[in-house]
Structure 1
Amino acid sequence: MSDAIRQGPLERFRVLDLSRLRSGPTAARQLADWGADVIKVESPESLEVSDGWIGKRLGSDFQNMHRNKRSVTVNLKSPEGIEILKKMAEQADVVIENFRPAVKFRLGIDYETLRQRNPRLVYASISGFGQDGPYADRPGYDHIVQGMGGLMAITGKKGQGPLRTGISVADTAVGLYAALGILTALLEREVSGEGQWVQTSLLQGMIAMVDYQAARWLMDGEIPEQAGNDHPTAIPTGVFQTSDGYINIATAGEEMWRRLCVAIDAPHLFSSAQYSTNDLRSKNRDALHDELTAYTKQKTSEEWIKIFEATSVASGPIYRMNEVFADPQTQHLGMAVAIPHPELKEINVVGQAYALSRTPSQMRAPTPRRGQHTDEVLVNLGYTKDEIEDLRVRQVI
């Protein structure tokens, strides 16, 4: 465990993370990286039950997801365990949970119950489909919601059938939306003095993420189709073969299209009648792609990147993950952050996606051992050493 002092713009907030899998822990991690005191609530190891975590505790996913948190073990199926949680909630600013909607009510740790003991509490619930409605009780998983939110129908090449993305995009997105909702509620609390219930779901997050593709249907009545590597509206934008691989090229607007034609030494394409407008380039997309590929195959990817950079044409390499973190710009941005680990010596985790000029994020501690901070949290709640030992013997903690 690092000895770094917890600090950052959110250091005054305490968060109880009751969530499992990926969406809720993502929200909690976002707050933890900026200094919040995030306490991850787990089941006692002696109960030998699964908390629904992803991967092995010392594995890359688990370590990356739960850094900067403290861990306590509490048996939420025990009345005494529920009372411990309620006492923790009295001292907390935020609770995050992603149980199925009915579970928190059955346990007696729902928002209305906890707010009676702490009216300032911000309570965030993440579900698959919403806290109520016809699908509220369905189990929600990223893959399912990618289909229901429209993403799989627009991903992949035309005619090849629906395709999921290479990441759990719905889980990650809704985790970030939940963190945004929590911060919004905390800001509002500064005015009203009261907390509130933040609700989001994988389905809401997924629909919000498809964004302009959803707007094409809502406003224009147009159903987006699969476009593979081609951009649906900015043409030509996509993947182009080079002499040694592939690169991305993106053109938005007539000036960028002109610069591309000049850069590849094909000015006749810009003056061609069949490519004179974006609508015509869209209509003749395949022919244009073939013509451009005939040029891009004449040089290496590195050569084209240099040419396009010099001529202000948007382009970039297509990396495998090892190449992503070898790139000098990625390294300059600090997207791999080292943390000392008591068992793994030193690990690298994924850095934050934004920076603040005065109060940076902080990677101060690796994922804790299960229940590593149980005693210190309970002492802070007023429990004695003997009481804590008794609770442990009876598998309450």
Structure 2
Amino acid sequence: MQALDGIRVLDLSRTLAGPFCTMLLGDMGADIIKVEQPGQGDETRKFTPPTWDGISSYYLASNRNKRSITIDLKSEEGKEIIYAFAKTADVFVENFRTGTMDHLGFGYEQLKEINPRLIYCSVSGFGRTGPEKNRAGYDLLLQGYGGLMSITGEHGGSAVKVGTSIVDMNAGMFALYGILSAIIAREKTGKGQFIDVSLLDGQVVLLNYLATSYFATGNPAGRLGTAHPSIVPYQAFDAKDGEIILAIANNRLWEKACQALGWEDLRDDPRFCTNDERVAHRQLLIGMIQERISGMNRQEIIEKLDAFGVPCGPIHTIDQVLNHPQVLDRELILEVEHPVVKNLKMPGFPVKLSDTPAQVRRHPPLLGEHTDELLLELGMEPEKIEEWREKKVIGSKPQP
């Protein structure tokens, strides 16, 4: 048994935020019906390079535990199919531009008439209300628009984006949070509801303490590299053989770090005795620490600080992370059987449920792989399916 067994999701989303959300729902047992355009599919299928045995690695990463059906949404027959699925679906997810779903006949008010219990989740760049509601939004754009780039990078340097698509995936997780909340609410009310999630909203919320600090002082945070605006020392330093992170988050840890590394002079210096003083004398202290760290090897520093329980560690490359014993022990790397991709691996499940754990039930589907299967489940006759295929209402046979 899985937590979301019996929950059916009609997924019209593509790219990353929506598909990431629905993959997580699928991991917990939901039946995800991925609706794609015939002959084209989710645009990430074309995000290459890199490919893995001819299939986009980007697409593979966010589309396990789904069934793919290809439908021409603009055709009357295609609309008939969507309406049929909507009658039995628990959740509908889309991330088209504002107004597109209403124009096609698949807006919330329209589908609500078909299924009042339907939970309709709309993911967009700027939200479905407000002066910017009609603008398209992508992760890179919203990293800048939402303030993230203004605090990312070295002090005095140019704008730098976060290395992964953090705004997209954050929006996907907020969408997941909204959907699960709506499922719980429906148990009490018997009714579905509309969920409006945007990349901008999610990014603004992630500003968190930086936003509150601005409201408190009127001063917006800027770029500090790996440093923290309110804690010192809490950043990366250059050891003799590479970079190392010191995460000395309070006065107790500062005293332990000084004891571990023999820095009693720094510990006893009144300019550094409290975090407030260390922040006030940030540049002086960081320079003194860097001078001392530069003559030491990372492993030496780590062993000494670990002995006193002081958080520290190296900056790992992606290959080092994915092969790290802790990551492997946590079963964070999945091996998934796939009809085309040999030895497919991908990141696993970040949430461990003791009684209803996440599972891989399906590989990332080929384009239209489950079209016939799903239409037959709706009660469509095989002859009708072939007729629709000839009319291009649905796509051709499955393809990578």
- Does TM-score exceed 0.5, indicating one fold? yes
Aligned to 1:322: 319
* 1:264/1:295 contact within 8 Å kept: no
Q: Distance in 1 between matches of 2:111 and 2:209?
A: 38
Distance in 1 between residues matched to 2:180 and 2:367, nearest whole Å: 27
| 2:69 match: secondary structure | strand
Q: 2:268 aligns with which of 263, 266, 271?
A: 271
What corresponds to 2:4 in structure 1? Answer: 10
Question: 2:162 is matched with which residue?
Answer: 165
Residue 237 in 1 paired to residue 234 in 2?
yes
Following TM superposition, the consecutive aligned residue runs of length 4 or more in structure 1 with deviations greater than 3 angstroms are: none
Query: Cα offset for 1:90?
Result: 0.7
Label 1:388 to 1:50 Cα distance change in 2 as closer, same or farther (>3 A): closer
Residues 1:40 and 2:34 aligned together: yes
Please state if 1:52 is matched with 2:43.
yes
1:30 and 2:24 correspond: yes
1:290 aligns with 2:283: no
Deviation at 1:325, TM superposition (A): 1.5
The 8 Å contact of residues 338 and 347 in structure 1, kept in 2 or not, is answered as yes
Amino acid at match of 1:375: D
2:6 is matched by which residue type in structure 1?
Answer: R
Deviations 1:175-228 (A, max 9, x none): 000011000000000000000001110100111112111121234433111111
Alignment-derived partner of residue 392 in structure 2? 395
Letter in 1 for 2:43: G
Partner of 1:302: 299
Q: Report the alpha carbon displacement of residue 252 of structure 1 after superposing the two structures with TM.
A: 1.4
Q: Does the 8 Å CA contact 2:18/2:95 hold for their aligned counterparts?
A: yes
CA shift for structure 1 position 72:
0.5
Could you tell me which amino acid in structure 1 is paired with residue 218 of structure 2?
A: G
Amino acid at match of 1:31: L
Corresponding residue SS for 1:238: strand
Of residues 163, 186, 190 in structure 1, which corresponds to 2:187? 190
Instruction: Decide whether the 8 Å contact of 1:264 with 1:296 is kept in 2.
Output: no
Look up the SS of the partner of 2:117 in the other structure: coil
1:73 counterpart = 2:67: no
SS of 2:44's equivalent in the other structure is: coil
Name the SS of the counterpart of 2:78 in structure 1: helix
Matched residue pairs, number? 388
3-state secondary structure, aligned to 2:271: helix
The secondary structure found in structure 2 opposite 1:116 is helix
Q: Give the 3-state SS of the residue equivalent to 2:84 in structure 1.
A: helix
- What residue identity is the alignment partner of 1:53? T
Q: 2:86 matched to which residue of 1?
A: 89
Instruction: For residues 337-381 of structure 1, give each alpha carbon's deviation from its aligned partner in whole angstroms, at most 9, with x where no partner exists.
Output: 111111122211111211111111112221111111111111111
**How far apart are residue 50 of structure 1 and its match?**
5.9
**Counterpart of 2:397?**
none
- What is the 5 A alignment of 1:73-152? 73-152=70-149
Distance (whole Å) between structure 1 residues aligned to residue 134 and residue 73 of structure 2: 21
Between the aligned residues of both structures, percent identity stands at 38
> Quick one: distance in 2 between partners of 1:380 and 1:366?
20
Q: Name the SS for the 1:348 alignment partner.
A: strand
The 5 A counterparts of 1:199-210 are: 199-210=196-207
Counterpart check, 1:262 vs 2:259: yes
**Equivalents in 2 of 1:175, 1:221: separation in Å?**
31
CA contact (8 A) 2:68 2:367 kept: yes
Provide TM-score, normalisation by structure 2. 0.94
Task: Name structure 2 gaps, 5 residues minimum.
Answer: 49-53, 395-400
Give 1:51 shift. 4.1
Q: Identify the range of structure 1 (7-16 vs 82-91) with the bigger mean alpha-carbon deviation.
A: 7-16
Decide which moves more: 355-364 or 180-189: 355-364
Distance 2:65 2:72 in 1: 23
Match of 1:313, SS?
coil
Aligned to 1:359: 356
Report the Cα distance in structure 1 between the residues aligned to 2:215 and 2:146, rounded to whole angstroms.
14
Partner of 2:51: none
The answer on whether the counterparts of 1:129 and 1:138 sit within 8 Å (CA) in structure 2 is yes
User: SS state of the match for residue 254, structure 2?
Assistant: helix
Cα distance between partner residues in 2 of 1:115 and 1:129: 23
Contact 2:41 2:70 in 1 (8 A): no
CA deviation vs aligned residue, 1:26-60 (integer Å, no higher than 9, x gap): 11111011111001001112xxx464325257222
1:67 CA displacement: 0.8
Supply the AA of the counterpart residue of 2:80: E
Long gaps (5+) in structure 1? 1-6
Report the TM-score when normalising by structure 1: 0.95
Q: Shift of residue 13 of structure 1?
A: 0.3
1:123–1:198 Cα contact (<8 Å) kept: yes
Kindly state the Cα deviation for residue 296 of structure 1 after the two structures are TM-superposed: 1.9
Aligned equivalent of 1:379, options 376, 380, 383: 376
CA distance in 2: counterparts of 1:323 and 1:51, whole angstroms:
31
Q: How far did residue 310 of structure 1 move?
A: 1.0
Match of 2:398 in 1: none
What is the CA distance between 1:257 and its match in structure 2?
Answer: 0.6
What is the distance in 2 between the residues matched to 1:322 and 1:108? 46
Secondary structure at 1:131 match in 2: coil
Q: Does the aligned pair in 1 maintain the 2:260–2:305 contact within 8 Å?
A: yes
* 2:222 partner SS: coil
The corresponding residue for 1:3 is none
Query: Is the 8 Å Cα contact of residues 339 and 364 (structure 1) preserved in structure 2?
Result: no
Q: Which residue of 2 aligns with 1:177?
A: 174
Are 2:10 and 1:19 equivalent residues in the alignment?
A: no
